[in-house]
Structure 1
């Protein structure tokens, strides 16, 4: 999930519209959305034919092939959400056209959640490419090209978690965009004033001990963030579970909430709550920001995109914050987990999805492309510091694409995030029912914080509700 649900990243930030701007790497101008259904050149994707192979993977006819022409030409329509990332991708189109001058890109700002499903079902005005939350890729897979063949030259260098979340039935359906490693953000100044060295925290038990020590030094404080939004609370739970190599569903879509790993995570969260060590608030709500600014809340286990907060929202404590890898659940365990993420998908009914593949290939795997996305640009003069590339050659610790983050006291967040991202275990595709599970699991987590449920009761009740109301009804 990369809101724009995951993008509380977009909260309080600039927006941009779909108008194409010819200024190199400049922000999009306000001109309204480009109309859908533009005339496209009549050259559909090149495909091969065949039935499913012996391994049970998708039929070869469902696998997209790159164009065979030396200088392909045509028009493509790609959908993104409006906002900061739209402006970033928009500005890279001119760079793409230096490599592919005969491919015209119609880049459109669209409410993807509202339009994509009906568009794919009706088959009318289907775009050639779409920016999509990882959690939603599997749910649309029947309408998407299998990208196994075109991704083959790059797959070994893509973060395993991103390949896994975009895979279903032996096929890969998304071109991975960002890797969103979980990090522990902490108020270094407040902790130092309390005599606590946060860099000594290596496990979640250490974090509990540091929170207790801080509360003794700052009476009335509640040092650790507890998420109050059911959606984001479930997403954060998945970050913790990701560290332990699990997720809400396995690669076959089977529910696996009833496990020792989830008991460990929920038990830890319950301890934070029961001991009064947690500030329960929605991500960057006024209550949350107030506790962060006052020094009552000093530990924030969250995805890298929290870096936006000390840069733009925490005006009083900006510069006091730092980031480090998440604590491990046990000595020597993984120090990060995935929290959200997005990819690019190519609908089968797009008229020129093979040309759209070239656009996404340039964005994610060509040095000029990914340098323009994550490097300095008009939208982010210091570079896009709210995620890192999922492609290893782009995520080189020695070659930072974005600069030190002033809101984090000038910290080299790039190196911290890249090293944390390398520790994320592999994952599994998010099931089609993941968002629907928020009504049960996300809500029950909040009931646990209310004192109405134990961790075991959350697991038992949520498992029964999700199985009966979501999994069995597919």
Structure 2
């Protein structure tokens, strides 16, 4: 499980390379040169009754590599003629140069959603092979993979935002967490908790510029927006973002927050001692009570995020990954069959998210983006003892179903951390107002990133 935490941190940190991805379109070979049909970019599924061949699949080393490795035998039971070379690779260090040189290009790659837009010119458009499933894929995941009408990734996980809370501490303070329905309710619950536990900072305030920006996008996702629209146009200085920043600034001004970086020793200490009892974060925070919060394991629970308005969505997306198929891969069509099996075949997605040798209780840090697999009444992973035996599957699938549609993550998103992420931290320092953050960051991002693409 420690490998899981390291993988999550590596996935988040690696998005910083996304800013460099647009260079690919300028310096790589023209894969579709000489073809005016428009069809060369659209992947076709194999037509053979018993397809045969060899595929090379790149994944990062760690827990998910082992999970996917464990599904290969099931895949070969369905496709005995396809040999899978499953390779652990530092994708962020190797993929860009591999695509530029065209040397030993893999047939399939596990890739952060934040990077897909930057690599799209080198990837197959999967809209045709995904067509039978697209109506049953979470809209947010399908839309973050859609660029100019093409779909460039096989959606993997859905990472719904949840409100994790210390049920034991709140109960001792006389606070009913289940009564929290809106962010105004959350503020009031934090005030009440602080009155009962003087000196506490009940709500987590993220201190990392990168993770703070990622969490900001989770809040924005609830409101049906994001830092950029489907055309990559900046849409930051808006009433929706002002509302989110005003909430965070209120937490700061009233002293209702604990400012710490995600699951660092300081953060863990404040979670363990009962000072920090509300953690709005992606489902993957569930790792913390299972492995890191040894003193309060069993005290924590999860619920849907509060809504911004009484009738609004109770979740937003925070992070995510997909599988991409490079055009220069020798057998990308066969790699599609592998990913089709993993994500859309019951035997495949059950093996991924269900109990296995890597995760005896199942992969509890995400849910499938394929809606038939994310059936609330048919859990793939088991209730979590560290959450007091709570059925996290039911909570997460209900939350995931409420995530509004999304837009592709612009290739300059990670570069925006130098502006928006840092300015958000300056607001939490008390140096900028929400309005100043939005005006300044929007101007800087437009001038230094968007206009220079």
| TM-score, normalising length: structure 1 | 0.89
CA distance in 1, matches of 2:213, 2:136: 29
Number of residue equivalences: 430
Structure 1 residue 415 and structure 2 residue 394: aligned? yes
The aligned residue for residue 114 of structure 2 is: 135
Is 1:320 the counterpart of 2:321? The answer is: no
Matches of 1:104 and 1:279 in 2, distance apart? Answer: 51
In 2, Cα distance between equivalents of 1:444 and 1:374? 38
Deviations 1:180-229 (A, max 9, x none): 00000000000000000000000000000000000000000000001111
Shift of 1:51: 4.6
Q: 2: distance between equivalents of 1:265 and 1:352? A: 46
SS at match of 2:142: helix
The Cα of 1:60 is off from its aligned counterpart by 2.0
Partner of 1:42: none
* Distance in structure 1 (CA, Å) of the matches to 2:281 and 2:189: 18
Could you say which residue in structure 1 is the equivalent of 2:435?
A: 456
Is 1:7 the equivalent of 2:3?
A: no
Residues 6 and 207 from structure 1, CA distance in 2 versus in 1: closer, same or farther, beyond 3 angstroms?
A: farther
Equivalents in 2 of 1:387, 1:369: separation in Å?
16
Partners in 2 of 1:414 and 1:84 — Cα distance?
A: 20
Please give the alpha-carbon distance, in whole angstroms, between the structure 2 residues aligned to 1:439 and 1:102. Answer: 49
**Residue in structure 1 matching 2:363, options 384, 396, 399:** 384
Are 1:102 and 2:81 an aligned pair? Answer: yes
Which runs of 5 or more structure 2 residues have no equivalent in the other structure? 13-31
In terms of fraction of residues, the more helix-rich structure is 2
- Paired with 1:440 and 1:188, the residues of 2 have a C-alpha distance of 36
- CA–CA distance in structure 1, aligned partners of residues 368 and 213 of structure 2: 24
Which residue of 81, 97, 100 maps to 1:118?
Answer: 97
Return closer, same or farther for 1:51/1:331 CA change in 2, 3 Å cut-off: farther
Q: What is the CA–CA distance in structure 2 between the aligned matches of 1:473 and 1:120, rounded to whole Å?
A: 23
1:131 counterpart SS class: strand
Distance 1:71 1:297 in 2: 56
Give secondary structure in 2 for the equivalent of 1:78: strand
Provide the rounded CA distance (Å) in 2 between the counterparts of 1:212 and 1:445: 23
Which of 290, 301, 305 lines up with 1:311 in the alignment? Answer: 290
Q: Structure 2 vs 1, CA of residues 4 and 345 (structure 1 numbering), >3 Å: closer, same or farther?
A: farther
For residues 137 and 427 of structure 2, the distance between their equivalents in structure 1, rounded to whole angstroms, comes to 37
8 Å CA contact retained: 2:202, 2:257: yes
- What is the correspondence of 1:355-366 to structure 2 with a 5 Å cutoff? 355-366=334-345
Does residue 1:81 correspond to 2:60, yes or no? Answer: yes
Deviation at 1:102, TM superposition (A): 1.0
- Judged with a 3 Å threshold, the aligned counterparts in structure 2 of structure 1 residues 135 and 332 are, in CA distance, closer, same or farther, namely same
Kept in 2, the 8 Å contact 1:397–1:418? The answer is yes
8 Å CA contact 1:9–1:386 kept in 2: the answer is no
Alignment of 1:232-311 (within 5 A): 232-311=211-290
Note if 1:434 corresponds to 2:413. Answer: yes
Query: Is the contact between residue 11 and residue 112 of structure 2 (CA under 8 Å) also seen in structure 1?
Result: no
Out of 403, 414, 419, the position equivalent to 2:382 is 403
SS state at 1:125 partner: coil
1:405 and 1:154 mapped to 2: Cα distance?
30
| Residue-by-residue CA offset, 1:47-99 (whole Å, 9 max, x unaligned) | 9x9757xxxxxx22210011110111111111111111111001101110000
Say if 1:10 and 1:84, in contact at 8 Å, map to a contact too: no
In the TM superposition, what whole-angstrom CA distance separates every residue of 1:310-365 from its partner, at most 9, and x where no partner exists?
Answer: 00000000000000000000111000000000000000000000000000000000
The structure 2 residue matched to 1:152, chosen from 108, 131, 136, is 131
Secondary structure of the residue that 2:40 maps to in structure 1?
helix
Give the TM-score taking structure 2 as reference length: 0.93
Structure 1 residues without counterparts, runs of 5 or longer: 12-46, 53-58
Q: 1:370 matched to which residue of 2?
A: 349
Q: Secondary structure at the match of 1:108?
A: strand
SS of alignment partner, residue 405 of structure 2: coil
Q: Which residue in 2 is equivalent to 1:30?
A: none
Residue equivalent to 1:167: 146
Once superposed, what is the RMSD of the aligned Cα atoms? 1.6
Distance 2:64 2:11 in 1: 9
Partner of 1:61, secondary structure, is coil
2:51 corresponds to: 72
* Aligned residue runs from structure 1 range 13-24, under 5 A: none
Offset at 1:8? Answer: 3.5
Shift of 1:380: 0.2
